[in-house]
Structure 1
Amino acid sequence: MNRQTSTEHPLPLAGVTVVAIEQALAAPLCTCRLAEMGARVIKIERPEGDFARGYDAAANGNSSYFLWTNRGKESVVLDFKLADDAALLRRLIAEADIFVQNLAPGALLRAGFDSATLRELHPQLITCDITGYGTGSETSKLKAYDFLVQCESGLVSVSGAPDAPGRIGVSICDIGAGMNATIAVLSALTLRDRTGQGSGVSVSLFDGAADWMTVPYVHERYGKGAPAPQGLKHPSIAPYGAYRTSEGRDTVISIQNDREWGNFCEVFLGNREIASDVRFATNNARVQNRKALDALIGDAFRTRALDEALSLLGDANIAYGQLRQVADMTTHPALRTWSMAADDVELQMVAPPVRAPWDAQRFKPAPKLGEHTARIREEFAAETEEAGA
């Protein structure tokens, strides 16, 4: 239903129109992914704008959050509580394939733009609602910012260091909800291709976090209790963690099976017989005797410089990595970036995680607040009857 299609790139969602009433991170990330696949995304903003616009000014005076999750969209300012703006929104939705929203529960129901009503009016429409805790429970009306959901879901309780649980350092519940919403929308599009009917899909931040917590949940409910925060160690696998070299550099190793453990003992520790020590012969034994294991491995690392340690790990075919800072990540050889304009300055932004034949190698800019309002109002103006018709 897209009135503006492009033939420059054979994008998978070219011709698809998305209308989004969105803010912050989860819904904007979902619709950003759709825009990267070629969809036309019309972002509805209140007069003061998506509040993520003011989160920071790190990107050449712009919000890093906003530029990341709103590139390639069109921004329209309207207030759907006003009759004329509500009529415009209805016309936009009538032309849309997908409607995405993450307002507070009940906000759109009161205005007559809830998903069920919209799909009744437009059976081919796909609607996606993103909430904090879903609907129908006592938590449904709680405000659900990322860190709060990290705490409510138990993510924080298994993160951080012993006796110092910590917030995961990025907005992972928002990000997860956005990606789950993208999956849901694409699934609904595939179903519509077969049936001609739209679907209503929904995701919540808590559901996504709870899904990631499945292993601690099973340990707590059916095992011997959920693992406590482990810092730079793995609660179920050993050795799997960080060890410091002679010059104070942290190297992370991961040994997944007893064959790798034997190689590590022979090449790195210089003693194959350690692999058959009853304390360390199996992964379960190594986890139970982690303190003695870490002391043994830590001593071996402290006697070696980083280059020597990495060389030996490579000889033993052991998986390893270095504990890097964000500054190191910006120059990492695996990092891919695309250009993006921000106020006439070219920024190098992290490239999309999906590599595809339709990669553009460049991001479209994020819109200024209300940048497309006049054009959208003109394009979707109310149709009037011709005189004498």
Structure 2
Amino acid sequence: MTLPLDGVTVVSIEQAVAAPLATRNLADLGARVIKVERIDGGDFAREYDHVVHGTGAHFVWLNRGKESIAVDLKSIEGRAVVRRLVDTADVFVQNLAPGAAERLGLGADELRSNHPELVVVNLSGYGTAGPMSDRKAYDLLIQAESGLISITGTAESPVKTGIPTADIASGMYCAQAVLAALLRRWRTGQGASIDLSMLEATVEWMGHAMYTQMHTGMQPARMGLGHSSIAPYDAFPTSDGQMLIGVQNDKGWRALVTDVFDLPALADDARFATNVQRVRHRHECDAVVAEQTSQWTTAELDARLAAAGVPAAQIKDLDQVVDHPQLRARNRWRTIATENAPVEALLPPVTFADTEAAMGDVPALGQHTHALLIESGLEAAAADDIVSRSVAFQAKRLQPAQTK
């Protein structure tokens, strides 16, 4: 069976996380993704670090299955090449600095004036209107502006999330918007101009915390691993570590104290019989649970909780996640190529019964430039000249500085 987006072409001027995540999701679903990069180093995520056989971890995560063309967008020649590629594409995505696409002649209105069926996504920090529309934005800044940092961490210290949550939120909404626009286009022939704000994507994810504030007037407390509205919901000690237990309802509490702790009287204790009461008496409730969980090792307690159907999880480090038995049992890892060595990559979480995600290779900077220049309509000699100039520029850029 074919992949859902076979035959769809996406051109993307992208960097960092949000837009590359969106287009990688489209590539996994079968779309052809042409990634436009700067000639002076390309997507700067390539150089965040060199931990994956000399390539940046962010870049390897976000850019499999794409073709890379390196052109100088400051030149008339480079802009013309990109414009010709976009004119034959289905989707154009960009997350340049505010106003940059329009200055390059690659704004949605201009592109769709003679290509009305094109789907264009402008992904920015704050959207195309409003008092902050001209500001640059990064994940950390959006986490702050959206209130995410204010509810993350402990009572003593707010923290950002350990992954780029704002980038991921906006990247996922971007991919969703493209799919919706393509579905409408296949029905009506109509393209789309889409404005996507990282701030708005992340505020949407604030969900219950935002509604709590709106309807109580109270800022939700930072709870660490706990939950402001549920108890017991936290990490509890074992004899050799910790176990996270999340009792979502009163039936779960009864199962915990009766089937795991063998203390059925606690099921009807007035302080703990309902979630509202358990939250009200959180410290007492957590102390009772901790006294019991500390009697077993983590493995023993995990087995008891699973047998009783009580939601729980071991708090794993990343080396344990890489070799997680559930992922291995479901055969979720594949091997893909990078410019220096093969690496393992995780299949996307959405599994089609009749086909598998594309899982293409991670491109080197400008790896497909020559072929794409020819495809854009250039003669072979002109393409050769552009590539040779780009290679020369790269070589000069990478030369060590001369000391006097």
Question: Are residues 1:198 and 2:194 paired?
Answer: no
Q: What is the deviation of 1:201? A: 1.5
Distance (Å, rounded) in 1 between the aligned partners of 2:239 and 2:159: 28
Q: What is the deviation of 1:100? A: 0.4
Three-state SS of the structure 2 residue aligned to 1:213 is: helix
Q: What is the deviation of 1:80? A: 2.8
Question: Are residues 1:293 and 2:285 paired?
Answer: yes
Query: Contact 1:11 / 1:358 at 8 angstroms: preserved in 2?
Result: no
Match for residue 257 of structure 2 among 245, 249, 265: 265
The corresponding residue for 2:346 is 350
Change over 3 Å in CA distance of 1:154–1:84 after alignment to 2: same
Query: Contact 2:261 / 2:292 at 8 angstroms: preserved in 1?
Result: yes
The corresponding residue for 1:145 is 138
The corresponding residue for 1:6 is none
The corresponding residue for 1:56 is 49
The corresponding residue for 2:74 is 81
Q: Which amino acid in structure 2 is aligned with residue 364 of structure 1?
A: G
Three-state SS of the structure 2 residue aligned to 1:57 is: coil
Change over 3 Å in CA distance of 1:359–1:250 after alignment to 2: farther
Distance (Å, rounded) in 2 between the aligned partners of 1:125 and 1:11: 21
Q: Deviations over 1:222-270 (max 9, x none)?
A: 11513211111111111111101112x1111111111121121112232
The corresponding residue for 1:100 is 93
Q: Deviations over 1:50-70 (max 9, x none)?
A: 101101111111111111111
Q: What is the deviation of 1:202? A: 2.3
Q: Deviations over 1:331-368 (max 9, x none)?
A: 11122211111235321112211112464477321111
Three-state SS of the structure 2 residue aligned to 1:139 is: coil
The corresponding residue for 2:359 is 363
Instruction: Please give the residue correspondences for 1:1-389 in structure 2 after superposition, counting only pairs within 5 Å.
Output: 10-48=2-40, 49-247=42-240, 249-335=241-327, 336-343=332-339, 345-357=341-353, 359-360=355-356, 363-381=359-377
Query: Contact 1:181 / 1:202 at 8 angstroms: preserved in 2?
Result: no
Q: Which moved more, 1:22-31 or 1:264-273?
A: 264-273
Q: Which gives a bigger RCO, structure 1 or 2 (Cα 8 Å, sep 6+)?
A: 2
Q: Which amino acid in structure 1 is aligned with residue 360 of structure 2?
A: K
State percent identity of aligned pairs.
41
Distance (Å, rounded) in 1 between the aligned partners of 2:253 and 2:283: 17
Instruction: Calculate the aligned-residue CA RMSD, in Å.
Output: 1.6
Distance (Å, rounded) in 1 between the aligned partners of 2:307 and 2:102: 62
TM-score normalised over the length of structure 1: 0.92
Query: Contact 1:339 / 1:361 at 8 angstroms: preserved in 2?
Result: no
Three-state SS of the structure 2 residue aligned to 1:216 is: helix
Q: Deviations over 1:36-90 (max 9, x none)?
A: 1111111111112110110111111111111111111111111233222222222
Q: What is the deviation of 1:141? A: 1.6
TM-score normalised over the length of structure 2: 0.89
Change over 3 Å in CA distance of 1:122–1:349 after alignment to 2: same
Segments of 5+ residues of structure 2 without an aligned counterpart are: 380-404
Segments of 5+ residues of structure 1 without an aligned counterpart are: 1-8, 384-389
Q: Which amino acid in structure 2 is aligned with residue 345 of structure 1?
A: A
Distance (Å, rounded) in 2 between the aligned partners of 1:246 and 1:198: 60
Three-state SS of the structure 1 residue aligned to 2:177 is: helix
Moved over 6 A (4+): none
Change over 3 Å in CA distance of 1:288–1:218 after alignment to 2: same
Distance (Å, rounded) in 1 between the aligned partners of 2:324 and 2:193: 41
Change over 3 Å in CA distance of 1:367–1:358 after alignment to 2: farther
Q: Deviations over 1:74-126 (max 9, x none)?
A: 11111233222222222111101100000011001122210122112211101
Three-state SS of the structure 2 residue aligned to 1:334 is: helix
Three-state SS of the structure 1 residue aligned to 2:377 is: coil
The corresponding residue for 2:398 is none
Q: What is the deviation of 1:199? A: 0.8
Distance (Å, rounded) in 1 between the aligned partners of 2:163 and 2:125: 17
